Amino acid sequence: MGKNAGKNVTGVKLYFIILLLDLIIGGVWYYISFPALNIHNRDFWLILIVVFTADTLAIALANLGSFALRNMSGKEFLHKIGRGAMTILIVDAAIVLIVIIGSFAGWRLIRAHSYANLLDVQQREFTEDITESESVTNIALMDSESARIFGNREIGSLSDVVSQYEVEPDYNQINLGGRPMKVSALRYASFFKWLKNRKNGIPGYVKVDPINSDADYMKLNNGMKYVPSGFFNDNLMRHVQFQYPTKIVDGYYFEIDENGNPYYICPCKSARVGLFDAMDVEGAIICDPVSGDSEYYKVEDVPTWVDRLYDGDLCTRKYDWYGILSNGYWNSVISQTGCTRTTEDYGFIALDDDVWVYTGITSLNSDQSNVGFVMINQRTSEARYYKVSGAEEFSAMRSAEGTVQEKKYEASFPSLINVKGQPTYIMVLKDSGGLVKMYAMVNVQQYNVVATGTSQKEVFENYKKQMAKEGIKTSGSETDSDTVMGGEATIGILAIQYVVSEGETTVYIKGDDGKVYKQAFADNEGLITLNEGDKIKVIIDDASSKEDDIIVMKDFEVVSSGAATTEAKASDANAAAAEDEPDTDEEDINTTEGEMVGEV
């Protein structure tokens, strides 16, 4: 009996040692990798499998000792390794089975419709949702690469900052006060820079205006301590995951609220199909990097100032599930009837105080044209589809580059705007150094209609002229009995006025037909030669009606000079005065003038 008791004590010690090793090794592993303790996280199950397998081997080897395996039957082997090892091995096998079944439950072959139903896509009218652009000087065309150039340039001018910090390379586009803005926080330049500055934290962040290319460094009153570039407990992801150990935290996005306060938005995901598949956002943890305070929100409860929960990759992936699998898995493989997918990249559009991802939609068999495009809200995942066929984005980019091929400029991924009811790509053309040199606009439906310019205003005017030249029917271009668009008019100039607004000069001409004509002075410097009394033929812009009170001019031709007319009249008057009788009295003159006025 004493002998058996000794064996039991040895067994207890063995299990205690194994448990202690599990806690030590598992604790170090968890601190380093901090996986989510969630059944929808594959890493969680992997940890369990590794731990139980290692424990089984450790117990089995300890019990077997130096016993000769070659003389051992299967029954003797199972008895020798012990009941404890067998129990752990059974649990380990059960975990592996759960992983296999859970993975199989997310197989697209049997769950195609579950994937397709993750996104509710509404078909909308392009001209109803996308406001017609009256100008393009307020459109964000800057990409992240250009934002990095401007941001680094701004920080480079601050010697006390640039020596210790760098700008995070990922600029997040947000809506700030109804205006697009790109923001990025600073980061520690190295481990030793963190060690030196961790007490004060990250001192600020960078804002880059993607419209006018202004970059500003925003210094904070209190530094950000919990940041992605921090180490140990100062690391943002470790800090957030430890606060919410069961949440599957999928990255982070830097944002600022309307008052300029910094936050990190950390989306949390969960599987929607099977145990591990179709990972989708279920909520977000919003962390204040200054204080470290965090709060979890469900998607529908996230504050409206937050602009990004769903990144562009997830948005396009969800549409691809919808577009490819809506008619079943086998249809997507064999006939591919009605199957569509997103193009290879995406852009951003500010709409309804939110930031939307937009991308073209093409059939599986097409690589150069779109059947439409989709916009997906980055905060709510609302999806809107617009049936507008035309060139896909990369074809439009190549077309724009082709117009200035001798310069070897590269086009950025375009933004999408509404020009007189016409879906239009607008993009920047950059040199090899990443600097913006020109702008380009390409008609979506007829991508041979391309316009370029050295400024946004110039390219906009050139594009409208190009559309008119190609005879493209635009909103407001229809004619009826009451309104005639474009055309010409011959007028005498009664008055000329130069009006400066927002740094741009517009010339207004009052005609003897009772109407006012206008044109930007920068578009036609020949306006400076006009004088009151001149008679000119006005070329009317296609966007203006002859019935309007203020009409936009495209160009003009001088019919006769007011100065020449005045000299001729003066000469005629002098000749008439010489022939008049000297005894003509003032009363006769007044009467004659009165009669003339009456006749007029």
Question: What is the CATH number for 513?
Answer: 2.40.50.1010
Claim to verify: residue 291 and residue 157 sit in the same structural domain: yes
For tokens 């975990």, name the residue.
95
Assign residue 253 a region (left: φ > 0; alpha: ψ between -120 and 50; beta: otherwise): beta
Assign residue 145 a region (left: φ > 0; alpha: ψ between -120 and 50; beta: otherwise): alpha
Claim to verify: residue 304 and residue 160 sit in the same structural domain: yes
59 in Cβ contact with 84 (< 8 Å) = yes
Claim to verify: residue 231 and residue 300 sit in the same structural domain: yes
| Alpha-carbon distance values, 553 to 470, 507, 522, 577 (Å) | 19, 10, 13, 42
Residue type, 322: Y
d(CA 451, CA 443): 9
Number of domains in the chain: 4
Q: Is residue 131 part of a domain?
A: no
Indicate the DSSP class of residue 314: H
Q: Given 3-state DSSP classes, what are the helix, strand and coil percentages for the chain, each rounded to the nearest 5?
A: 40, 30, 30
Question: Of 443, 470, 497, which closes a domain?
Answer: 470
Claim to verify: residue 522 and residue 435 sit in the same structural domain: no
574 in Cβ contact with 580 (< 8 Å) = no
C-alpha angle 448-451-453 in degrees, rounded to nearest 5: 160
Cβ neighbours of residue 395 closer than 8 Å, sequence gap 6 or more: 368, 369, 447
CA atoms within 13 A on the CB side of 343: 28
CA atoms within 13 A on the CB side of 318: 26
d(CA 417, CA 257): 27
Q: Is residue 110 part of a domain?
A: no
Q: Is residue 416 part of a domain?
A: yes
Q: Residue-wise pLDDT tens for the chain (600 aa)?
A: 455 544 544 567 888 888 898 899 999 999 999 999 999 999 999 999 999 999 888 888 877 764 555 555 556 556 666 677 888 889 999 999 999 999 999 999 999 999 999 999 999 999 888 888 888 877 888 888 888 888 888 888 787 788 899 999 989 999 988 888 999 999 999 999 999 999 999 999 999 998 888 899 999 999 999 999 999 999 999 999 999 999 999 999 999 999 999 999 999 999 999 999 999 999 999 999 999 999 999 999 999 999 999 999 999 999 999 999 999 999 999 999 999 999 988 999 888 889 999 999 999 876 678 999 999 999 999 999 999 889 899 999 999 999 999 999 999 999 999 998 899 999 999 998 888 899 999 999 988 899 999 888 899 989 998 888 888 877 654 433 333 345 788 999 999 999 887 567 889 999 998 889 999 888 888 898 899 999 999 988 765 555 556 888 888 889 888 754 445 444 444 544 444 444 444 444 343 333 333 332
**DSSP readout, 225-266?**
-SBTT--GGGBHHHHHHHHSTTSEE---EEEE-TT--EEEEE
Claim to verify: residue 284 and residue 217 sit in the same structural domain: yes
Question: Of 470, 498, 533, which closes a domain?
Answer: 470
Angle, nearest 10°, between helix axes 42-64 and 83-104?
160
> φ and ψ at 305, to 5 degrees?
-75, -15
Burial zone of 167 (CB within 10 Å; 0-12 exposed, 13-18 middle, 19+ buried) = buried
Claim to verify: residue 269 and residue 303 sit in the same structural domain: yes
Structural domain harbouring 93: 2-104
d(CA 305, CA 566): 65
Claim to verify: residue 158 and residue 293 sit in the same structural domain: yes
pTM of the model: 0.76
Claim to verify: residue 454 and residue 501 sit in the same structural domain: no
Q: Is the dihedral of CA 242, 244, 249, 255 positive or negative?
A: negative
Q: Is residue 578 part of a domain?
A: no
186 in Cβ contact with 225 (< 8 Å) = no
Question: Of 81, 104, 127, which closes a domain?
Answer: 104
Q: Is residue 525 part of a domain?
A: yes
Claim to verify: residue 197 and residue 273 sit in the same structural domain: yes
Q: Is residue 382 part of a domain?
A: no
178 in Cβ contact with 169 (< 8 Å) = no
Q: Is residue 378 part of a domain?
A: no
Claim to verify: residue 301 and residue 180 sit in the same structural domain: yes
Claim to verify: residue 296 and residue 170 sit in the same structural domain: yes
Q: Is residue 288 part of a domain?
A: yes
Three-state secondary structure of 473-530 = CCCCCCCCCCCCECCEEEEEEEEEEEEEECCEEEEEEEECCCCEEEEEHHHCHHHHHC
Claim to verify: residue 262 and residue 295 sit in the same structural domain: yes
